Structure 1
């Protein structure tokens, strides 16, 4: 498929959403707001950080002197294990619909080192992160239908602590994104008799224009329907439907893909590249999840430099997503970055 260097729309088959693509706008002058540069000279241990080993958190509990990863229940979790009691909702009210939400929220510290983000960790250290994601996913999926493993990196993404960490939220209800992806993947399977993301992976491998990284078990692409400038999707090439199914070889392969992708991000503008990323697994309450394929979305906000951010405002908030940089051009930029992290030289 050729690059579309003219104004057009693309549809996301996982959600049904559309994005307006306007490549000609890349040459317009920029007079918008800029973000502060990231701080790279952090200490390995910060005495006031609530995530560093041995430090106190706000609940007066002390972190252990952990050596790899560390998981604890979020001190300010958005979900509680039990819903509020004594509250009544009117199930048939078409204008004021509400229902109970219960679940668990956990924090996952990736490393004891305060100054090392994911791309700066060794493969062995990333392996420990992947193992921790899996063990917590399995434990929570046995109790809840929907488990979200995610990371917000960088202050611009609302991350309050630079210490490398992510979160896991689990709940009984299906979140809006998971419900949309479940509906659309199932609809595709019924219509075409095949798995949507399996077909998509094969098409992207054939075309190559949006592929960023490929190894034995994983494919990283700037999706055809990407909304954010350097958005990527990390997809299992094997028939893996949720995080609990990954074997050791697939997890090791994933660690290499994660390291390579996050190094690509940091090397675009030689900075600690912010993003929100999250894994989408098949809901654990499905009788048949054959229409699912495990994948992760990376949504980075930077547009033209470390200090220039893409803002989803105006038309994006009131109509539909719009982007200037085509997915094919974004993939080319990502592919062209050095394989070694910029802090370690060329």
Structure 2
């Protein structure tokens, strides 16, 4: 895998990932851009003990541009974009409107800076593609980028957790239609991860066993919620799924993060993941909006408890209906699901 590091006109880092060593990545960003914004501000919610990030500069981020003005397309004569090259395989660059960054102002005025990093991952140069339509070699390149960034971002000062994810579909709130994901390097451990690790620790103290491995083993044994599987991964609907269609993909070997995956595990994941995404798209005959979220162990705490897995979920509950976070979910965090997880799994198994 060829990895080429360059910089955009405002100094932000951009990295090309190519399967071929002869890829020419000498194109230069010719735009005139303002300097990147400084780090966001962290504020502590004293009632919940959780961090909230205030990033007011993101209010000005690009919002649903016409397809011929997409900033994630390759650059063309007279139309420079965020990617200077006229073509690419997979590319990662610092977000122009980051939630977290290393650009900390000298005078903080007592504020806690949102140090870290926010990156964009472009999965394909094809504006009309989707992750589900990528060939397996391209998925492998994306996984190489995820693993590379996980390893590198984990070494940045102040970073406590690395989160690779994709938001797909206008129904989810995506502001750019081009197939892409993001990576956040957080300066704290996120609330969901803290909660999962707390439950896993209690389970280990009580039973001496690993919580995630026990969940995987029970789902594989029951089979009723398994959507698809191979020798190295299993995809299943969790027993207490919060979303109408939610699938978790677990490797059979306990690993802390993406960087720890073997080549065989990456290839096996690619096959299974694309299969599950295609099943989701076939379910209602329309592209399924979804959030795809990699859960990785934190950088310096709880790594012995963490278990790499991917959570994939959609807000679509029927062909013409979406699930919205209403009072119980949004205000109280108490989810109510309209679809039995066993029924969701059965429908996904049948979507061949």
Could you tell me how far apart the structure 1 residues matched to 2:140 and 2:220 are? 26
**Deviation larger for 158-167 or 173-182:** 173-182
**Deviation larger for 314-323 or 222-231:** 314-323
The answer to whether residue 330 in structure 2 is matched with residue 309 in structure 1 is: no
Structural mapping, 1:138-157, within 5 Å: 138-143=151-156, 144-157=159-172
The answer to whether residue 185 in structure 2 is matched with residue 164 in structure 1 is: no
1:294 corresponds to which of 308, 323, 326: 308
The answer to whether residue 92 in structure 2 is matched with residue 71 in structure 1 is: yes
2:285 corresponds to which of 270, 275, 293: 270
The 1:101–1:46 alpha-carbon spacing in structure 2 relative to 1, beyond 3 Å, is closer
Could you tell me how far apart the structure 2 residues matched to 1:232 and 1:57 are? 43
Structure 2 residues not aligned, in runs of 5+: 1-65
Could you tell me how far apart the structure 2 residues matched to 1:171 and 1:188 are? 26
CA offsets per residue over residues 92-150 of structure 1, 9 Å max, x none?
xxxxxx84421110000000111110111111111111111111111111222200100
The 1:245–1:313 alpha-carbon spacing in structure 2 relative to 1, beyond 3 Å, is same
Could you tell me how far apart the structure 2 residues matched to 1:129 and 1:330 are? 28
Look up the match of 1:106. 119
Question: Residue 167 of structure 1: SS of its match in structure 2?
Answer: strand
Structural mapping, 1:245-264, within 5 Å: 245-264=260-279
Structural mapping, 1:29-178, within 5 Å: 46-54=67-75, 62-87=83-108, 99-143=112-156, 144-178=159-193
Could you tell me how far apart the structure 2 residues matched to 1:83 and 1:291 are? 32
**Deviation larger for 52-61 or 141-150:** 52-61
The 1:80–1:214 alpha-carbon spacing in structure 2 relative to 1, beyond 3 Å, is same
Could you tell me how far apart the structure 2 residues matched to 1:121 and 1:55 are? 23
CA offsets per residue over residues 308-330 of structure 1, 9 Å max, x none?
10111023233411012111111
Aligned-pair CA distance for 1:63: 2.8
Aligned-pair CA distance for 1:271: 1.3
**Deviation larger for 310-319 or 163-172:** 310-319
CA offsets per residue over residues 266-312 of structure 1, 9 Å max, x none?
000111111111101111113x622221011112000111x310111
The 1:87–1:247 alpha-carbon spacing in structure 2 relative to 1, beyond 3 Å, is same
Look up the match of 1:335. 349
The answer to whether residue 306 in structure 2 is matched with residue 285 in structure 1 is: no
**Deviation larger for 188-197 or 110-119:** 188-197
Could you tell me how far apart the structure 1 residues matched to 2:79 and 2:293 are? 26
The 1:58–1:112 alpha-carbon spacing in structure 2 relative to 1, beyond 3 Å, is closer
Look up the match of 2:331. 318
The 1:271–1:227 alpha-carbon spacing in structure 2 relative to 1, beyond 3 Å, is same
Q: State the superposition RMSD in angstroms.
A: 2.2
Aligned-pair CA distance for 1:175: 1.4
Q: Which of structures 1 and 2 has the larger relative contact order (alpha carbons within 8 angstroms, sep 6+)?
A: 1
The 1:155–1:178 alpha-carbon spacing in structure 2 relative to 1, beyond 3 Å, is same
TM-score normalised by structure 2 residue count: 0.76
Could you tell me how far apart the structure 2 residues matched to 1:250 and 1:78 are? 31
The structure that is strand-richer by fraction is 2
Could you tell me how far apart the structure 1 residues matched to 2:220 and 2:199 are? 22
**Deviation larger for 127-136 or 146-155:** 127-136
Structure 1 stretches of 4+ with a deviation exceeding 3 A read 55-62, 82-89
Aligned-pair CA distance for 1:87: 3.6
The answer to whether residue 199 in structure 2 is matched with residue 184 in structure 1 is: yes
Structure 1 residues not aligned, in runs of 5+: 1-44, 90-97, 339-346
Aligned residues: 284
